[in-house]
Amino acid sequence: VPVTVYENQQIASKAVAQRIASLIRQKQTKGELAVLGLATGVTPLRVYAELVRLHREEALSFKNVVTFNLDEYYPMLATAQQSYVTFMHENLFNHIDIARNNIHIPDGTLPLEELHAYCMVYERKIEQLGGLDLQILGIGRTGHIGFNEPGSAPNSGTRLVTLNDLTRRDASRDFGGKENVPTKAITMGIGTIFKAREIILMAWNGKKAPIIKKAVEGEISSEVPATYLQLSDNVEFVLDKDAASELT
């Protein structure tokens, strides 16, 4: 698996933002849409900040951009502070010229019996747009990508999943206690992510070093879903020195 290690998170994030920007501009010259798969969490924050800067200071337009977010807690009101809808608007969408209709984030408000059909439609929308050009990923300490926790199948699609205890513990600060973190989420599947033409997994911080070692060098197994990325020809791990510190 190709791994690029940067001195720090800032430099790495700028490099990833540049790649996103050049994809968007390349598509613009061809009169095409750029279809992006996006992640939430602390990892992509500086990438989004840099994209906002490129919009403000270097006239990068997002008018030809369509986005699909990886996941959302379930149940979750879009208006809640912890929702990924709120996260994406506060950190990116409110500050750029993307068309509101081009934003897709799994809907955490639907009744349970409507979820299956909704997830099928989410997949179909991605396909109808020609698939994801670029998928951005973080990684959880369980080895999850999106919210595909250990046990997820490599061909899984968008679906309702149960969150791991460690994942809920890691989210407890945002919710004021683990007991307030939803037990479920809607996530794109490993199969959905895999179909992207380009995948960039980012990780910063020594806290991620053990799971990065497993993801990059460990045996491919559903116990660490990120190991499935070893099977892709289109993936790159973008790390800071600390996240890469346990790689041999």
Does residue 149 bind ligand F6R (CB under 6 A)?
Answer: no
Residue list 207-236, contact with ligand F6R (CB under 6 A): none
Span from 19-27, 46-54, 143-151, 172-180 in contact with ligand F6R (CB under 6 A): 143-151
Among residues 70, 105, 190, 238, the one that binds ligand F6R under rule CB under 6 A: 70
The percent of the chain in helix, strand and coil, each rounded to the nearest 5, is 40, 20, 40
How is residue 28 written in tokens? 């613009």
What does the alpha-carbon distance between residue 14 and residue 164 come to, in Å, rounded to a whole number?
31
What does the alpha-carbon distance between residue 64 and residue 24 come to, in Å, rounded to a whole number?
7
Does residue 138 bind ligand F6R (CB under 6 A)?
Answer: yes
Residue list 38-67, contact with ligand F6R (CB under 6 A): 39-43
Does residue 71 bind ligand F6R (CB under 6 A)?
Answer: yes
What does the alpha-carbon distance between residue 105 and residue 78 come to, in Å, rounded to a whole number?
10
Rank residues 147 and 228 by Cβ distance to ligand F6R and give the closer one: 147
| Look-up of token digits 């990833």 | 16
Query: Can you tell me whether residue 170 is helix, strand or coil?
Result: helix
Active-site residue, selected from the candidate residues 50, 123, 149, 236: 149
Residue 149 annotated among the catalytic residues of the structure: yes
| Look-up of token digits 């990886």 | 70
Residue list 13-42, contact with ligand F6R (CB under 6 A): 39-42
What does the alpha-carbon distance between residue 78 and residue 56 come to, in Å, rounded to a whole number?
27
Q: What residues act catalytically?
A: 149
Residues at the interface with ligand F6R (CB under 6 A)? 39-43, 70-71, 138-140, 144-147
